[in-house]
Amino acid sequence: MELSKPAGAEAPAPKRRYWNNSRKEALFGWLFLGPEAIGIVLLYVFPVFFSLYLSFSEWNLMGGLSSVKLIGFDNFKEILSDQKVHMALRNNLIYTVMTVPISMILSLILAVIIHNRVYFQSYFKVAFFIPYISSIIAIGAVWSALYHPSEGPINRMLFSFGIDNPPKWLADPHFALISIAIIAVWAIVGYIIIIYLAGMTNIPEEMYEAASIDGATSFQKFYKITLPLLAPTTTFLFITLLIGSFKVFDIVAFLTSGGPFNSSTVLVYRIYEEGFQNFRMGYASALSWLLFMIVGLLTMLTWVLQKRFAQD
Amino acid sequence: MHTTKNKITKLITTVLMGAFSVVFLVPLIWMISAAFKYEKDVMAFPIQWIPQAWNAVGNFKAVWMGNVPFHLFYFNSLKLAILMTAITMIISSMAAFAFTKMQFRGRGFVFALLLSFMIIPEQATLVPRFLLMKWLGLYNTHTGLIVMGMFSIYFTFLMRQFMASIHNDFLEAAKMDGAGYFTIFWKIILPLCKPILATVGIIKFIWTWNDYQNPLIFLLDKKLYPITLGIQLFRDDYADNFAVLMMASLSAIIPLVIIFILLQKHVIKGISLGGVKG
């Protein structure tokens, strides 16, 4: 260690100083790392353990920390019998099933076309990507106008097709979640296209040329070359979107507040309601841990899947 | 031989995709068109894509000089996004520098900590962070939001990967010349990191500009609202005025679209580094 350091980097000083090079390096190392380390402890480590503690307690924020009452597993028992939480988890699942496969398939098709079958590639990248970088709240505001039950352009169009009782979309218990899923798919497609395009640029062009010489059709090339070589990208996207769909909150909170009749409530919205509207800090923490465990499980699933792929 | 046929196929595909992209963008086209109309024409059917009577100025005035202080929300968003981006970049690159270019005890431990907390979803720590902000007296302040937004494990990780690829010879040479760690960091490492800094910075700016959840939970005072909460106020205040709401939405989206079109390469690179919308 000492030997590898350039000698005489500092002004000549008496030997055996306290501030030798490695001590100095450690001091500066901590100066550079310090802010990040403090931040991680304060905003990640502490919150995780503190919310674990709170999840076994009942506390409504009044009366300070001394009024925290430990109640064992009661919060988790309550989760098991909480209809709203069941509704939220069910909705999360439905939302995932509605958004993840559709957005991935649609984006893959678009990415394949954009990759080398059209002129003006960069126009298409921009066009499909704009909804993704736009604020989901601004986009939500636009869609809330489009979805308007009696005046909105979507239902006006349906009326003109002779459909007298079109869905009330966001205001309809049977359609609120679907309406949100449609917006979500529309907004995420650009992101998935970009990731797929990045994956496709890594596929050597010679493979397609060789396949052409062998007389392969476009479909065969897609099925035998593109799709298998994109498998790691697909896995990455699948897991990312899966986890993302369990974290959905903004658009639900802004457009429906989980309604009507909890028909579009989701897990994070339940955390928000219990924690920041009912101020049940203990119960909200237990729900947070539920979310944490779901995301943790999905992440471990990734590792297993990625190992599988690595072996194949 | 095939080329003419290929060109024609490509042309037809381009036209079809062009048409599809227009359909795809209809919601945004509708928004722009509505933002320039009188309210009574917004919901007219068939849709007037090009307004028959223009009210762009009226809507603009209602948004920017009306009862809801939109200019203030805009300023708040800008302030939060710029400060958070700048501070995150500094903190993350300092940490990455320590991780890659310095040897000291505890470094590995902090890195292990970082990795193991990388998967924690932000939403799962809302309650304890809320309490922390209350205790620190930072609830309902911009400082609180900035403190929560200025540490990013993900960005530190990206910066670390990039800095690891910078050759140590540069540093050794600088050390020989008697340069201190801060000089090395500021004069040698950071300039070499420009590409990754640009990428990380733009992504962070976009995320912060679009953030809704944190301001919703950690801000109470309307004067402190960023633009996302501002749009919510608009919706509540102008429930029956879609023209004004669309002008507000358009105003919120425009800076990002400009940034994206100008700095497309950086944005796309940042996203495809494995960027997860967080």
- Rg, C-alpha atoms of chain B: 24
Q: Which position has the higher pLDDT, B277 or B151? A: B151
User: How far apart are the CA of A242 and the nearest CA of chain B, in angstroms?
Assistant: 12
State residue A70 phi and psi, 5-degree precision. -75, 130
Of B42, B98, B126, the CB nearest to A271: B126
Q: pLDDT value at position B63? A: 86
Beta-carbon separation of B127 and A271 below 8 A = yes
Tell me the C-alpha to C-alpha distance, in Å, between residue B77 and each of A101, A272, B62, B203, B211: 34, 23, 19, 15, 9
Task: Show contacts of A15-23: CB within 8 Å, 24+ apart.
Answer: A22/B103, A22/B104
pTM of the model: 0.90
Check whether domain A74-311 has CATH 1.10.3720.10, yes or no: yes
Q: pLDDT value at position A18? A: 76
Q: pLDDT value at position A201? A: 87
**In what helix (H) or strand (E) does residue A69 lie, and over which residues does it extend?**
strand A69-70
The Cα B265–Cα B259 span in angstroms is: 11
Q: pLDDT value at position B177? A: 84
B14-54 pLDDT tens trace: 999 999 999 999 999 999 999 999 888 888 888 888 888 89
- Chain A's closest residue to B241, CA to CA, is A145
Q: What is the DSSP letter of A6?
A: P
Beta-carbon separation of A32 and B252 below 8 A = no
Which residues in B lie closer than 8 A to residue A295 (C-beta atoms)? 119, 121, 124
Residues of chain A with pLDDT below 70 are 1-16, 309-312
Task: Show contacts of B168-173: CB within 8 Å, 24+ apart.
Answer: B168/B101, B171/B101, B172/A6
The Cα A171–Cα A209 span in angstroms is: 53
B199-247 pLDDT tens trace: 889 989 999 999 999 999 999 999 999 999 999 988 888 777 899 999 9
8 Å CB contact between B56 and B121: no
Beta-carbon separation of A29 and B103 below 8 A = yes
Beta-carbon separation of B102 and A29 below 8 A = yes
List where CATH 1.10.3720.10 sits in chain B: 70-272
B96 pLDDT above the threshold of 50: yes
The Cα A47–Cα A68 span in angstroms is: 16
Helix spans in chain B (H) = 3-24, 26-35, 39-42, 56-64, 70-101, 107-116, 126-135, 142-149, 153-164, 169-176, 181-183, 190-192, 194-210, 213-218, 227-237, 242-262, 264-272
User: How far apart are the CA of B252 and the nearest CA of chain A, in angstroms?
Assistant: 7
> In this predicted complex, what is the ipTM?
0.90
Beta-carbon separation of B260 and A130 below 8 A = yes
Beta-carbon separation of B252 and A26 below 8 A = no
Q: pLDDT value at position A1? A: 39
User: How far apart are the CA of A312 and the nearest CA of chain B, in angstroms?
Assistant: 23
B117-133 pLDDT tens trace: 888 888 889 999 999 99
We find that the CATH architecture of domain B70-272 is: Orthogonal Bundle (1.10)
Q: pLDDT value at position A270? A: 95
A2-6, B142-146, B267-271: range with highest mean pLDDT: B142-146
Map out the domains of chain A as residue ranges: 1-55, 74-311
Beta-carbon separation of A40 and B24 below 8 A = no
The Cα B125–Cα A43 span in angstroms is: 8
Of B42, B92, B102, the CB nearest to A36: B92
Helix spans in B36-69 (H) = 39-42, 56-64
Q: pLDDT value at position A264? A: 94
- Chain B's closest residue to A143, CA to CA, is B27
Which residues in B lie closer than 8 A to residue A118 (C-beta atoms)? 10, 13-14, 17
Of A44, A134, A198, the CB nearest to B120: A44
State residue B136 phi and psi, 5-degree precision. -80, -5
User: How far apart are the CA of B95 and the nearest CA of chain A, in angstroms?
Assistant: 4
A258-295 pLDDT tens trace: 989 999 999 999 999 999 999 999 999 999 999 999 99
